[in-house]
Amino acid sequence: MGKGAEARSNNRCTLYNSNLMDTGLKNRVAIVAASSQGIGRATAEALAAEGCRVAMCARNAQTLHAAAEGIEKQYSAEVFAQALDVTDAEAVHRFVEEVASKFGSVDICVTNAGGPPAKGFLAASVEEWRKAVDANFLSTVYFAREVIPHMQRKHWGRIITITSITTKQPVPDLVLSNAVRAAVVGLVKSLANEFGKDGILVNNVGPGYTATDRLKELAKTRSGATGKSEKEIFEGWSADAPLKRLGEPREVADAIVWLASERASYVTGQTVLVDGGLYKGL
């Protein structure tokens, strides 16, 4: 390489390195649904740490406001929190409108809800199927319908759905999740195709076994069904993953931060698993 070319190449490196840690998320407005605890809360926290203004919601007002106040204090972040059920389309509409009027826009929307109960097919009632569709599919539709027009106006947006490893690999006693999450992936791909022209990137994140209250519930159900202790169930989950441990909510949140950031500006319509390698396919 000639001296001129080398200097130009070095300059490029210098420029890139000086910008290395910038996610471009400062002052972005981020909604994180179902965020009073677990992966949702960790995501709200991680986005606040990047300088986002964060809007949080969940059903339980007390836990939600405690989480919001904690994040506000720790990161000196602007946080708006409102108690609501993500299966209530009208409540989601009002929430998104309030966020937009308080913060001026909506740039990022992370959809989330509690997971469906662990059941085999014949044990799941029709009512449970309806609830799973409402919580784990339609809630995503409600948020997407509300936030997309705001994102179109700015020609910039990120929608990130939190689903599960079940989008790639069914889990034996989670038939509700195995079936309903697939619809979210179909929606994600469709939205990515339809709204890419508007600068809106739509991706899905699938956690593997992650240390939250949801997992404790799952361990209890499995323990009851198999006679194994909860400790053995947890050890089994860790052993199944090549990384030989459970994930931390923060590790899922970090993947979401990356997808929301300028660093993922050419990534859309994808499912990213954060599962310690648990998914066994190619």
Site for ligand NAD, rule CB under 6 A: 34-40, 58-60, 85-87, 112-115, 135, 162, 164-165, 207, 209-210, 212-215
How many Å apart are CA 217 and CA 177, to the nearest integer?
15
Residue 181 or 195: the one with the smaller Cβ distance to ligand NAD is: 181
Residue 162 or 260: the one with the smaller Cβ distance to ligand NAD is: 162
Tell me which residue of 205, 206, 276 sits closest to 247, measured CA to CA: 276
For residue 99, the minimal CB distance to ligand NAD (Å) is 15
For residue 143, the minimal CB distance to ligand NAD (Å) is 11
For residue 35, the minimal CB distance to ligand NAD (Å) is 6
Full DSSP string of 85-100: -TT-HHHHHHHHHHHH
How many Å apart are CA 136 and CA 111, to the nearest integer?
9
Full DSSP string of 1-24: --HHHHHHHHHHHHHHHHTTT--S
Residue 107 or 134: the one with the smaller Cβ distance to ligand NAD is: 134
For residue 36, the minimal CB distance to ligand NAD (Å) is 4
Residue 115 or 157: the one with the smaller Cβ distance to ligand NAD is: 115
How many Å apart are CA 67 and CA 103, to the nearest integer?
19
Residue 36 or 271: the one with the smaller Cβ distance to ligand NAD is: 36
For residue 263, the minimal CB distance to ligand NAD (Å) is 23
For residue 279, the minimal CB distance to ligand NAD (Å) is 11
Positive or negative, the CA dihedral 135, 41, 33, 64 is positive
Positive or negative, the CA dihedral 160, 111, 34, 218 is negative
Contacts of 165 (CB under 8 A, 6+ apart): 171, 206, 207, 208, 273, 275, 278, 279
Residue 139 or 195: the one with the smaller Cβ distance to ligand NAD is: 139
